[in-house]
Every structure is written in C-alpha cells, then in structure tokens.
Structure 1
C-alpha cells in the first residue's frame, strides 16, 4: 500500500448544510479512481479541500504526507480541472497552455499539441467566446498534458460530444500506460468510464459508501437472465436492484453473490449469469428512499454501514 492521499474524519459544513460528514479514505499511488456520486453528494467539496481551494471544518488531509494548504511542495504536484474552470476574459487557449506550462514541472508540450489537434481546438479565439465543448477541451488538455502526479478531473469533459469524450478516454489510457500517475475521475457517465477505473470511491450525502476495486464492486451484485418462473426461486428473499422483462424472459439484478452450489443450479435450470453494470449498482446505492422518520436514506447505505459496525 502506497497512499498519496490520506483523509481522516473530514467534515465540511456550510451554515446549515453538512457537505462532508466524517469522511475517511486513502488514495493509492498510480491508480485511476472513479470518484462517483450524485449532484451535491460532496465530490467537488472533497476535491477542493484536497487541492487547498477550500477549508475543512474539521478532520485531517495529507497529500504526499503533508498538509496541502499553502504548501508549494504539494500543490505543484497536483492538477485540479473542473467543469466551471475560470480563465481571464482576455485569455485564449494559447495563453492558458503557456501559463499551465510554467506551473506544472512535468508538462509535456508535445502531448499538448497532439491533443490540440485531436480536439480541433482554435487557439486564438478568446476563451470567453469558446463553445462549451471547446472550453471542456481546454481543461482536458491541461489535465492530461500537465502529467501531474495527482490529477483531479471534476467532470470537465461533460461539455464534449461522444466522439470527443472517447478521444479523451483513449488518450488518457494511452498516456497513463506510459506515464503512470494517480487520477481521480468524477463523472455522472459511469458506464462510459467503467472500463477506465481501477478503484471506486462512491460518496453519498457527504459519506463514503463504497471504497474498493472496480472488480470487487461489480462482484457485490448478481444478474440472472432467463425464464421468469425458473429464476424466481433464486431471487426470492434478496434485495432486488433492477428487474426488467420481455414476455417470459426476465433479467433480475440483486445484491449479493450466489454460492457455488447455487451457480450450478442456475446453470442446470438453463439460466444465464451476466455481468452487473457498475452504473446500475451505484445508481441503486445512491437512490434515496423516504424512511419512517421522513429523512432520506439509501437502503444499501444502511446495509454497508451496518456491516462496518
């Protein structure tokens, strides 16, 4: 284990809003993380504190073993790119990249120029006149070309169309393979990034509810496809995450795994076991339902917290 980020009991309160509620997690060196959760779950707040752009109410944050606040030894080793990134009104993309080149010691100008061509980015147009997709491309290029030891992408690529997003994913993987570093991707497009991420951090209502490898995360649930009547005995009594059907054929995803004997019974019944999409699992985990007290709470969150006690 080689953590580059260590967070312990991190809390952030804005007046009457508790944005982070005693969050603790570690981020390992040279891995791609999916930092996932609903709008307002606390993702941006956490990343802002990690990059010293916000203050914690309580708790501790260590990046490369040090407090990042006003610490140039830490800050110039990180890059934080967000969708709402601000640039001077008179700046164009060329100025933005020149400024980034001065700040990031591992900046790769050749990669920057390659990405400019990939995204067909106009360099002389003032940034304030760029389209949303072009503005997203500026942020993505800075994030990749910086080759910072830790890079945070807080959904800056949402303005890109599907083709441009795929270019981003392809270039990220290509460059990560040659120059490993720690990358945190915050995204609502879970299906699109599912094959990129190695570890999953899910935050909901200011609390971490999942922190594990992507493979282990997918293994939390099981999907069975086949005759609806035949599969029902295997589903009965389990927490169903998703169900759909067409005629006599049904597909049911439920929380938990089948035992080896149950898997053999499923196969003997002519039913199929299929992979569970990561997005389906996380959407269910962060789907809040009204409790008896009127507060909203995820049933799977309650299950996870109970398992930790």
Structure 2
C-alpha cells in the first residue's frame, strides 16, 4: 500500500498553514519530518489520518495493485495526545489495561500482547491510572499505542517529547523491532534529527514560503537520508578563500567568526568537493543541513 497526499492546502483563521503539499509514503519505510514550530506538521498529520479536512487537495490510499482503497482506522494510526484524552474525556481513573481495551475496538489489527509487553519494558503496571502518568510517561504510552495499533501507516508527532535519553533509546529500539517484524510505514515528526538519522530512510523538511507572515507551509526538501548526508558538507576557512571555493555550488552561509567563515554545500549530481589546503571540509548532520536551508533569511 502507499499513502498519497495531493496538493493539500489548509487555511486556519485566514492563514494558509499548508500550501499545496504533495507527498507519497511508500510501504516499508521510516520517514522523518521536521520544520520550525508552527509550520504545520501536526496539521498535516491530522489531514493524512483523516482527523481534519483539507480545504483543497486530497489524500488517497492505493493497494498493492494500484487500486484506490477506502481509508479505515486499521490503515492509519495518528494517536491522540494522551493529556487531551484525559482532559476532554475524563479518563483520569481509567487504567492502562482499560485504555488498551478501548483502542482494540478502534484498530482492527490491535495487538494487546504487544501493548502489554511494551508497557512492561517501561515498567508500567496494567492497573496504572492514566491520571497518574507524568508527561514523559504519557509520551511512552502514546508510543505503545501507536506500535500496538498495527496500522499500515503510523504517524507519530514528536514522540520523544518529555522523554529522557534512556527512554528515547528504548523507543528507537522498539520502533526498529516492530519495523523489522512488520514492514509497516512510519512517519515521525521530530526536532531531534541527529538521533533519528540512523533510523529514517527519508527525511522531509517543511518550511514557510513567506518568512515574514509565517505563512504557506510547504515541503522544502524530501530526500533519501543517506544520499542527502553523502552530498552535504561544511566548508570553513578565511572568508575570501571560502567565498571563492563555493562558487558554482548550492551553498548556504552558516556564519562569520572574525575573518573566518563557514558555508554549507550541497553537492549536485556530478559535482565534487573543491580540493585545497586553504579550508577545512567536514560532513554535515541532518540538524545542520536543516539549519543551513533556513539560513538564507
């Protein structure tokens, strides 16, 4: 199956939050998506999962034969923020086991054994009340629910929020285990790109089209992670040497430090790095690539 968004546009309070977003999520891949705060990542997830309508454009699901399929909860999981579930639905006294049972009625492929196994890894007793969970614990429960849904496409919006480094490592391990076992497709929104760089097959950068009004969120870049990292470098040295070296390249200013300057360079097909002892060249991380793409303002 593949999930395809075509020209998705969303307007909220007169602001064009998303502007003609088109992307395709292929089966058996882990995607990472990032962007500035407020650029529309959560809105995009809500539209992809059918929890919010688009003002223009459409989301389609195609089966293995290329035929259009109707979208059901078993196809896409975008778990609700657990704190909102507790506040809006008054589930403070509901146990985790009862919450899992409720979700099993929503997701036809729900795996309760997996949910209980993952909860045990986080040392959560089944009778733990939702109202007694800390913010970090709520993030963990949301992850458990997403993985246990067994949905073909699983969307997680900053799943590592409020989690400590040990808990994040557990999450990454559980995600890879489930991915290896099931071949499901995952879309993760995160600001911790460098932690995810070994996990994600493709990276998506969202940005504003209009930096002054913070309007018109669009896809700035969508590329295979390994290919992007392999063609992205930081060139540093004396300003005049660096300026001369990056002529003819896709280059972004990363700042001056006295007489020194750093430029990010993204190689195009057929290009090679300049060769000189007058400057240093280092690989860029995903975090630095995203910073570079946002530096032109």
TM-score, structure 1 as length reference? 0.78
Task: Output one character per residue of 1:89-108: Cα deviation in whole Å (capped at 9) or x when no partner.
Answer: 33221111122233333333
Q: Which of the numbers 169, 174, 193 marks the counterpart of 2:172?
A: 169
Over aligned residues, Cα RMSD in angstroms? Answer: 3.1
2:76 corresponds to 1:78: yes
Q: Corresponding residue for 2:9? A: 11
Q: CA deviation at 1:64?
A: 3.3
Q: Which of the numbers 219, 234, 252 marks the counterpart of 2:262?
A: 252
Q: CA deviation at 1:187?
A: 0.7
CA distance in 1, matches of 2:4, 2:167: 33
Task: Output one character per residue of 1:70-95: Cα deviation in whole Å (capped at 9) or x when no partner.
Answer: x5x52222111254552423322111
Task: Output one character per residue of 1:220-254: Cα deviation in whole Å (capped at 9) or x when no partner.
Answer: 53224678887664246763343587x99x78342
CA distance in 2, matches of 1:237, 1:16: 40
Call closer, same or farther: CA 1:227–1:4 in 2, change over 3 Å: same
2:292 corresponds to 1:280: no
The answer on whether the counterparts of 1:200 and 1:213 sit within 8 Å (CA) in structure 2 is yes
Q: Corresponding residue for 1:204? A: 207
CA distance in 1, matches of 2:218, 2:271: 36
CA distance in 1, matches of 2:135, 2:175: 20
Q: CA deviation at 1:172?
A: 0.6
Q: How does 1:207-286 map to 2 (within 5 A)?
A: 207-224=218-235, 233-235=244-246, 239-243=251-255, 252-257=262-267, 263=273, 265-266=275-276, 269=277, 273-286=281-294
The answer on whether the counterparts of 1:241 and 1:255 sit within 8 Å (CA) in structure 2 is no
- Structure 2 gap ranges (5+): 209-216
CA distance in 1, matches of 2:72, 2:130: 28
Q: CA deviation at 1:277?
A: 0.2
Q: CA deviation at 1:137?
A: 1.1
**SS of 1:242 mapped into structure 2:** strand
Call closer, same or farther: CA 1:170–1:272 in 2, change over 3 Å: farther
The answer on whether the counterparts of 2:73 and 2:107 sit within 8 Å (CA) in structure 1 is no
CA distance in 2, matches of 1:281, 1:23: 21
The structure where helix makes up a greater share of residues is: 1
**SS of 2:144 mapped into structure 1:** helix
Q: CA deviation at 1:262?
A: 5.6
Number of aligned residue pairs: 280
Q: Which of the numbers 92, 95, 100 marks the counterpart of 1:89?
A: 92
